C-alpha cells in the first residue's frame, strides 16, 4: 500500500529515498548506499519499494479508503548498482475498486535499470482502523529528502533470521519498524523477506553468490502478530531456475504472500 512513513525509526523511511515533483511529474530518486546492496547489485526489494510508493502516491487519492497493494512484479537487469536512479510512473488503469500502474527505474541518463508492474485494491477505512495520514505528491516531496539512512545492511535492520538456508526457511518478527500506517507489514519489507529466502536457498544449494533479479508477489492476507516464516520450492535443476516462496504468519497459520522469484549467480 501507499507508505507515508515519517517516523525516524521506520526502516522504509530510512532508505535514503528522495521524492520530488519535476516538470509536473512525481518521481522518486535514490543514490544506492552499501546497506541497500547485495554483491554490488541493488536489492530487488528496494526496487519494489520505489514501485510501490511511486505508483501508490499517485493513486491513493481517497481519504476514506486504504489503497492496498494486491500484486507486484519486479524485473531487474543484473548489473552493479548505478550512482543514481529514479522512477517514471505510468497509470494504466484507475478504477473505483482497483488500479494498475507500471514504474520504470532509470539512471540519471535515462538508461533502464528495472521495471515493475503493480496492482492496488481500494478498501474502505473502518472506524476502528488506524488514522490514515493525508497523501499527496507534494507532502511526499517534503517528507522524503534522502537525509535518513540505515546504519546497518537492510537485512540486519529487518532482523531476518535464517533457520535452514538450503530450504529457504527464514523467520522475521513483525516489529513496528516494519509496519505501514494500516498496521501490517509494509509491502517492500514483505518483498525483502521473500528476496532473502530465495537468495539463501540458491546460494546454499549451488554454492554461489545469488542475487534476486525477478520477483512476482501476490499479497493474500495481512500479517498479524507474526513472526512471519518462509518456505521455498525450487522449480528446476539449476541456480537460475524459478522458485516458489510462501510466506506464512505463525500467529494465525495463514498463508499471507505467494511469491515467484528468480536469481542470477555472480562470481564469489
Residue 6: per-residue pLDDT: 47
Q: Which helix or strand (DSSP H or E) is residue 156 part of?
A: helix 154-158
Q: Which domains does the chain have, with CATH numbers?
A: 11-266 (2.40.160.210)
Residue 16: per-residue pLDDT: 94
Residue 9: per-residue pLDDT: 61
As averages over each run of 10 residues, the pLDDT of the chain (268 residues) reads 53 91 91 96 96 92 84 95 97 93 97 97 82 74 84 95 97 91 84 97 93 97 90 92 96 95 79
Asked if 192 and 215 touch (Cβ cutoff 8 Å), the reply is no
Asked if 198 and 247 touch (Cβ cutoff 8 Å), the reply is no
pTM of the full structure: 0.92
Contacts 24+ apart (CB under 8 A), 95-100: 96/122, 97/121, 97/122, 98/70, 98/122, 99/59, 99/67
Parallel/antiparallel/unpaired status of strands 161-164 and 169-172 = antiparallel
Non-local (6+) Cβ contacts of 237 within 8 A are: none
Amino acid at each position: 500500500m501507499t507508505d507515508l512513513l515519517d517516523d525516524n525509526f521506520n526502516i522504509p523511511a530510512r532508505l535514503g529515498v528522495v521524492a520530488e515533483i519535476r516538470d509536473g511529474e512525481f518521481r522518486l530518486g535514490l543514490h544506492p548506499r552499501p546497506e541497500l546492496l547485495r554483491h554490488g547489485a541493488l536489492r530487488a526489494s528496494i526496487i519494489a519499494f520505489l514501485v510501490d510508493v511511486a505508483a501508490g502516491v499517485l493513486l491513493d487519492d481517497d481519504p476514506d479508503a486504504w489503497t492496498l497493494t494486491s500484486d507486484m512484479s519486479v524485473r531487474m537487469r543484473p548489473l552493479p548498482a548505478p550512482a543514481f536512479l529514479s522512477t517514471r510512473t505510468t497509470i494504466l488503469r484507475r478504477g473505483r475498486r482497483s488500479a494498475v500502474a507500471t514504474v520504470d527505474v532509470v539512471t540519471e541518463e535515462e538508461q533502464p535499470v528495472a521495471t515493475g508492474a503493480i496492482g492496488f485494491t481500494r478498501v474502505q477505512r473502518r472506524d476502528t482502523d488506524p488514522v490514515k495520514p493525508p497523501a499527496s505528491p507534494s507532502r511526499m516531496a517534503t517528507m522524503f529528502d534522502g537525509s535518513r539512512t540505515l546504519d546497518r545492511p537492510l537485512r540486519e535492520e529487518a532482523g531476518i533470521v535464517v533457520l535452514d538456508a538450503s530450504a529457504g526457511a527464514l523467520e522475521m518478527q513483525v516489529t513496528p519498524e516494519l509496519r505501514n500506517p494500516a498496521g501490517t507489514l509494509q509491502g517492500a519489507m514483505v518483498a525483502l523477506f521473500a528476496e532473502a529466502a530465495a537468495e539463501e536457498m540458491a546460494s546454499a544449494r549451488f554454492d554461489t553468490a545469488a542475487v534476486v533479479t525477478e520477483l512476482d508477489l501476490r499479497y493474500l492476507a495481512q500479517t498479524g502478530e507474526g513472526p512471519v516464516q518462509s518456505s521455498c520450492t525450487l522449480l528446476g535443476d539449476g541456480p537460475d531456475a524459478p522458485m516458489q516462496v510462501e510466506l506464512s504468519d505463525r500467529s494465525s497459520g495463514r498463508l499471507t504472500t505467494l511469491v515467484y522469484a528468480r536469481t542470477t549467480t555472480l562470481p564469489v
